[in-house]
Amino acid sequence: MYRNWLRKFPDLPADFSALEKPSDLAAWELSQWLPAHSFTLVKEPDLGDGFRISGSTVTGGETGLLYGVWALLRHMQGGAPLPAESSPRYPLRMINCWDNMDGSVERGYAGRSLFFEGGEFAYDPARIRHLARMMASVGLNVICINNVNVHEPAQGLIAERLPELSALADLFRPFGVRLMVSVDFSMPLREGLPTADPLDPDVQAWWRRTAEKVYDEVPDLAGFLVKADSEGRPGPFTYGRSHADGANLLARALKPFGGTLVWRCFVYNCRQDWRDTATDRGKAAFETYQPLDGLFEDNVILQVKNGPFDFQIREPLSPLLLSMKKTSLALEVQLAQEYTGQQIDLYTMAPLWREIFEDLPQENLSAAAAVSNLGRDENYFGHPLAAANFFGFGLMSWNPDFSPAESVAQWIRLTYDFSAEQADNLKRWMLSSREIYELYAGQLGLCWMITPHTHYGPNPSGYEYDLWGTYHRASRDAVGIDRTEKGTGYISQYPPELADRYRDPETCPDNLLLFFHRLPYSFALKDGCPLIQRLYDDHFEGAELAARMERELTALPFPEPDAGEIARRAAKQRENAQNWRDVINTFFHRLSGVPDARGRKIYD
């Protein structure tokens, strides 16, 4: 029905009355692909989401049987390695949708909401089941359906709209997918209480009653997701309370029902004066949460962005992910390509995630969450090749050691009927797309040189004098932020071995150099190239590679309508890369006065 990696599999049945549980669906999926007698499904509840495959038997828990069958089907249809046994690294593998009930999607680049329109629930049940099937096919098990910035009438999702929420949960349930909802911390005020103070007994009682009503309607709700005290959202700071106070209030209300409270750590001062060179936005999350380590209820998960800023093209790992030893954490990444081309420019994310997982301690990480790239476009993802990011996130949130190359190769085999040479060519460009984008849009750890608000295309001065703490401080002599102890001190939030590596420009990786250091344009990089020349070279190379990528992608025999859509977006990416090249090179040439050593065109 819809163009994605499931297009080669049989359509779902119109009548779902006999498919109430994931194990029922597992048996149906298997029967559609293989003769019914070929494989036996054996339920072993203790395995939960895990499964074993031995000979012609798949053994697993209620959901594990479904994941085991999909591992088998991906193996048979797409050539994926077949594990003898497997269980997920993280119990919660989540998609965070930023959908608003008016039908818009904040940072959505694939059309309007799949769930809402005009302030109401508005969805196609068949399409919701197809989305749930996509999630099940790669092991994803939770979807938060509404924006973390909760606006009316979304507050009603845990009040007067509960019966409608229950009906939507019914569609996801056979696929082993549970709903989560974003809630407004100030919700008690909406219901007539004079305060939302988390230590107020009436507020605590109100949340307990609310949780009871919610779970009466949706008994398997995964829990609540909260954004508090950030970018204008209400939170416990209003009442002089800590975020542990705020999170624990909701967690205690959810605990009797097995619910989880996911509390986002995206908290910072968004009213910074650009003249203030001591305040560093990147330090905020650590300063807010690290002193609270060990003070959260055991059903609280702190959701931490992969970097200290906001999904920039290149950031170091958030120090908060390295320092919370007594608190459950969720890694948050962004499928929606807000700063990475907005599903116009090709940007395959699996190599980025591989780097993050390699550096990330796993012992207290209990969830992986991705900000959705879903929308109502016919293919769900805007750019047809952006589907590979959703696919890859599922596989890597199940197993963070999963190979990016294998993820992309598997997706290509499941999605297109290409020759081996054609598939290898597509895989090569997809795997190099992150590097290409970084060359023309964000090299050496520079952040925030993008068009304000829309976040597409270059504007090196756009955020430089605003209130959001997003500065690169380029001058005629130097560029970058000194985040050592001599500067903002951010570097001291890292463990000593990492801090030592980043502190010295000679040992700091070049791709993070200007994130941690303010350096003159004459500074020699590790290959001897002056910094200013590397800025020029990378932008020229990135634009050249984007043009070459367009030529080679459009030569591949994609089926329609993918062929036309990929060609249109690749042409736009080529134009975007050229624009980045000319704007950024001109910006630095005008500041520094240093010409390009290779004599290429830079505009005066």
Q: Provide the annotated active-site residues.
A: 231, 310, 338
Residue 366: exposure state from Cβ atoms within 10 A (0-12, 13-18, ≥19): middle
Yes or no: say if 418 and 385 are a contact pair by the CB < 8 Å rule.
no
**Separation CA 392–CA 14 (nearest Å):** 28
Yes or no: say if 542 and 439 are a contact pair by the CB < 8 Å rule.
yes
Helix/strand/coil for 592: helix
**Separation CA 496–CA 68 (nearest Å):** 42
How far is CA 376 from each of CA 22, 127, 141, 360, 504, rounded to the nearest angstrom?
A: 25, 10, 21, 34, 48
How far is CA 96 from each of CA 106, 246, 335, 365, 392, rounded to the nearest angstrom?
A: 11, 21, 9, 17, 16
Helix/strand/coil for 479: strand
Closest among 509, 485, 526, 515 to 359, alpha carbons compared: 509
**Separation CA 175–CA 66 (nearest Å):** 8
Instruction: Dig out the tokens for 88 from the structure.
Output: 């997920």
B/e letters for 503-517, b = 16+ CB within 10 Å, e = fewer, are bebeebebbbbbbbb
Instruction: Dig out the tokens for 289 from the structure.
Output: 């949460």
